[in-house]
Structure 1
Amino acid sequence: MTGHDESYERDGFATRQLHSGSARRGSSVNPRVTPIYMTAGFVLDDFDQATELFSTGDGYSYTRVCNPTNEAVERAVADLEGGAEALLVGSGQAALAVTLLGLLASGDHLVSASSLYEGTRGFLIDNLPRYGIDTAFVDDANDPLAWERVIQPNTRALFAESIPNPKNDILDIAAVASVAHAHGIPLIIDNTLATPYLLRPLEHGADIVIHSASKFLAGHGAALGGIVVDNGRFDSERSGALFPHLVERGRLGGPSFAERAGGSARISYLREVMALRFGPTPSPLNAFLIAQGIETLSLRVEKQSQNALGVARWLDDQSEVQSVDYSGLETNPFHELALRYLPDGQGAVFSFTLKGGLNAARAFVNALQTVTHMTHLGDVRSLILHPATTSHNLRTDDELEASGIWPGTLRLSIGIEDLADLIRDLDRGLAAVRATSDEAVMS
């Protein structure tokens, strides 16, 4: 029976509306699904507990520091990637920025593969130089000597994508990792398009993996998030001189990150300094949605990869199509590498080029009814975009050509629809291309 004791003075309405529904302390509630801890901060038990929490970091004080919902996603992705620890941030771009700015300082140098997501490329060539950090680009990312030739004494990291966006030119991770380790610097891999279901870069020598969790991990186009995963193998004796902020004691004389966290010094610094102070905090609601998506990751990615291979084979047979850049095709120059690194499927994002150029691309996109026209990837729904006029519209014609992006190039992100329906819709697009071509001839 519930009620109240009339023998004491009741709290006022404003107080009760804040506290009367609070969970009872000491209650044992064990939900199967991780709850959404939608709170800015957490109640501190007493004065001494607060002091200990702020000294050790063990426990919850503020969601910008740590949140149980967010932490559940971190544990899941670290486990799936085979890493020691993970950090959840607000977006994939935040994961990139936190990682690079947490490792590099003014005067440092980065080496990156040139085949990249356009947002990443913009960050490297437009933003990092403002912080005194220069980047050299490697065109032939699978040639170890090409990386060696541009490494400088101040180079502090190598960066690449496991499945580059949008060209699907698979990276030989182990070959690039060997170069990085010969210089005592980390290899950072963006594994967004492969996902840990198809490929785990840490198993091939990468040191840090990042994801746009908004894509395949969440999977339903409803949430933003980014993930950083570290292998926990930072060697302070070998690489400490290259990363003084990880091995030097703090200004108050406390232990360094390497002394306190050992091999996890990098990810500890990213969590306790970069994410905490720059503040790219993800909403616990987004973390919850990402966690829900992760539960069906393998089912979705397996189906999406199968569909992508079917679509790529069909497109490759069409007379209106000039080329299909999908590593799952036997004729693709990266096919052998894809079978080595991606034996369970070659992913769901790739580009193809129409012979008719810009007009053909426009007619094709506008005729589609099942495939959605939008700027996103990794959704359960199939998506299409014209890179040259959208994501890559700030590149010059020469830069587009050097990247293999032509006026007729379109990027597909294949979903989980029935393959026959996707092909029927794409055929509808090709019919519009033929009609446009016929009209041009008649005029």
Structure 2
Amino acid sequence: MSDSHLGFDTLAVHAGADPDPATGARQVPIYQTTSYVFRDADHAARLFNLEEVGFIYSRLTNPTVAALANRVAALEGAAGGIACSSGHAAQIMALFPLMGPGCNVVSSSRLYGGTITQFSHTIRRFGWEAKFVDTDDLDAVEAAIDENTRALFCETIANPGGYVTDLDAMAAIADRAGIPLIVDNTTATPWLCRPIDHGATLVVHSATKYLTGNGTVTGGVVVDSGKFDWSASDKFPSLSQPEPAYHGLTFAGLGPMAFTFHSIAIGLRDLGMTMNPQGAHYTLMGIETLGLRMERHVKNARVVAEWLEKDARIDSVTYAGLPSSPYRERAERIVPKGAGALFTVGVKGGYDACVKLVESLKLFSHVANLGDTRSLIIHPASTTHRQLEEDQQVKAGAAPNLVRISIGIEDVQDIIADLDQGLSAATA
């Protein structure tokens, strides 16, 4: 039976790996090895020439890591995938085959603060540029695209604000411009949304978050729809033009796996953003329960958001699943199973009250992470978005009077009780 006929939870357990042919091991083994023995000189040559698929060196490919990439690709409905060392690495890996000096990416202004910093400063060292636009203003998005734009970038559910992006509209703009749409699906996961079904070309994940789900792994994944025609213009020479390092091979000629093969053969080879096999193993185990966990995350988040919205100590709740949310209708179309479990809360008393709330909670963990089984909280303006100017913080949905909460899978009444006592201390 092909993967395309299997349900989500079945794919989460089985996709990407069969029992180990050497031992019969049912769980994907941790292949803790740097290198692989070639059958003979001709076999080695064929691997290095990309004439045969196989394992050469674990900076490029590793059976455990490949199983993870293939499983996420199956869940996302993608042609192929690459697992790498972090979510930030995944973003660079997604852009690397597309960009060049003088090129730009048009990006949502409502992103994780670390991504805004990476796009605002670090990528400039490559000669790349990011143009930040409010993706609710579709005319502004289209106007920002110029002859040097090589991609659109957004999040399905924005971190930290929980805003839902109109992926169908963004994909239509990208199609008209002849460029790929890259979607960070970390906070939604493929259980809530498959961006490729809405027209995305590439999907990136921080596997650190919901995919692993237990705060043990730093990792990232990029998956490719396999549907973009890289040869339709001269904008993507890394994929459409002969590659000198492989005797003139043109990656676009490899078909739907063109981006994936380039990211392994060039990206991982030269950037070295490799995921370790033990981390991949932990993430594979986490994904087995992704559907079960996300169902509980979403159920809890909805109850907590409704309780918070009615509380007199709260100014605002950005959860898109609330009937009062301006994103409710869009959420029902883009993430019909629920609006995730990440959102921000405006606390009366502003910055100081937010800090007191964070310090007063007992069940919630004060950490710079999200998507854990545990409920988590952070004050973005003083931490994850601290490097940004206040106007940038506001545009990113991380104003000084907001805390970001990631609702876990604990008993929901215990979550509410902790927030209740914390708010009492913060607003006394």
TM over 0.5: yes
Root-mean-square deviation (CA), in Å? 1.5
Q: Deviations over 1:32-79 (max 9, x none)?
A: 101000111122233333233323252212111111101111111000
1:288-342 superposed Cα distances (whole Å, 9 cap, x missing partner) = 0000000000000110011111111111111110000100100011011001111
The answer to whether residue 164 in structure 2 is matched with residue 202 in structure 1 is no
Question: Is 1:161 the equivalent of 2:155?
Answer: yes
Distance 2:235 2:100 in 1: 10
TM-score (norm. length: structure 1): 0.89
1:422 to 409, 412, 415: 415
Q: Secondary structure at the match of 1:238?
A: coil
Q: 1:367 to 1:40 in 2, by over 3 A?
A: same
Aligned to 2:319: 326
What's the CA shift for 1:359? 2.0
Native 8 Å contact 2:345 2:404 kept in 1: yes
Q: 2:160–2:397: 8 Å Cα contact kept in structure 1?
A: no
Contact in 1 for aligned 2:112/2:159 (Cα 8 Å):
yes
What is the one-letter code of the residue matched to 1:206? Answer: A
CA contact (8 A) 1:233 1:264 kept: no
Question: Is 1:73–2:68 an aligned residue pair?
Answer: yes
Tell me the amino acid that sits aligned with residue 341 of structure 2: A
Aligned position for 2:252: 258
Alignment of 1:345 with 2:338, yes or no, is yes
Amino acid at match of 1:418: D
Q: 1:94 aligns with which of 81, 89, 93?
A: 89
| Count of paired positions | 407
CA distance in 1, matches of 2:138, 2:358: 39
Contact 2:112 2:396 in 1 (8 A): no
Preserved CA contact (<8 Å) 2:354 2:403: yes
Structure 2: which amino acid aligns with 1:167? G
Whether the 8 Å contact between 1:160 and 1:190 is mirrored in structure 2 is yes
TM-superposed deviation, 1:28:
4.2
Q: Secondary structure of 1:331's partner?
A: coil
Contact 2:65 2:277 in 1 (8 A): yes
TM-score (structure 2 length as normaliser): 0.92
Q: CA deviation at 1:421?
A: 0.3
1:119 deviation in Å?
1.1
- Measured in 2, the distance between the counterparts of 1:283 and 1:321 equals 43
How far is 1:250 from its partner? 2.5
Cα 1:42–1:430 shift into 2, 3 Å: same
Shift of 1:99: 1.2
One-letter code aligned to 1:337: R
Contact 2:348/2:427, CA 8 A, preserved across alignment: no
- 2:145 maps to 1:151: yes
Cα gap change, 1:154/1:430 in structure 2, threshold over 3 Å: closer, same or farther?
A: same
Higher relative contact order (CA 8 A, sep 6+): 2
Structure 2 vs 1, CA of residues 399 and 49 (structure 1 numbering), >3 Å: closer, same or farther?
closer
Q: Assess if the C-alpha contact under 8 Å between 1:376 and 1:383 holds in 2.
A: yes
Structure 1 residues 230 and 197: alpha-carbon distance in aligned structure 2, compared to 1, 3 A threshold: same
Aligned counterparts of 1:423 and 1:27: Cα–Cα separation in 2: 49
What are the equivalent positions in structure 2 for 1:43-62 lying under 5 Å apart?
Answer: 43-55=37-49, 56-62=51-57
Letter in 1 for 2:201: D
CA shift at 1:434, angstroms? 3.4
Which SS does the other structure have where 1:211 is aligned?
strand
Tell me which residue corresponds to 1:301. 294
Secondary structure at the aligned position of 2:93 is classed as helix
The 1:189–1:30 alpha-carbon spacing in structure 2 relative to 1, beyond 3 Å, is same
Pick aligned residue for 2:355 from 362, 366, 369: 362
Structure 1 segments of 4+ aligned residues over 4 angstroms from their partners: none
Return the match for 2:31 from 32, 37, 42.
37
Aligned AA for 1:265?
A
Partner in structure 1 of residue 4 of structure 2: none
Match of 2:221 in 1: 227
Counterparts of 2:385 and 2:342, CA distance in 1? 16
Paired position in structure 2 for 1:317 = 310
Q: Which residue of 2 aligns with 1:212?
A: 206
Match of 1:8 in 2: none
* Aligned-residue offset at 1:361: 1.3
Q: Match for residue 400 of structure 1?
A: 393
1:263-306 CA-to-partner distances (Å, cap 9, x unmatched) read 33222211210122110111100000000000000000110011
1:136 equivalent in alignment to 2:131: yes
How far off is 1:405 after superposition?
2.9
Report the counterpart of residue 3 of structure 1 in structure 2: none
Q: 1:84–1:31: structure 2 CA closer, same or farther, 3 Å change rule?
A: same
1:61-102 Cα distance to aligned partner (Å, 9 max, x none)? 211111110111111100000000010001100000111122
3-state SS, counterpart of residue 103 of structure 1: coil
| Structure 2 CA distance for aligned equivalents of residues 136 and 397 of structure 1 | 18
Distance 1:78 1:303 in 2: 23
Deviation at 1:247, TM superposition (A): 1.6
Q: Is this contact kept in 2: 1:142–1:175, CA < 8 A? A: no
Alignment equivalent of 2:165, drawn from 152, 167, 171:
171
Gaps of 5+ in 2: 1-19
Q: Name the residue aligned to 1:20.
A: none
Match of 1:127 among 118, 122, 143: 122
Task: Tell me the SS of whatever aligns to 1:110.
Answer: strand
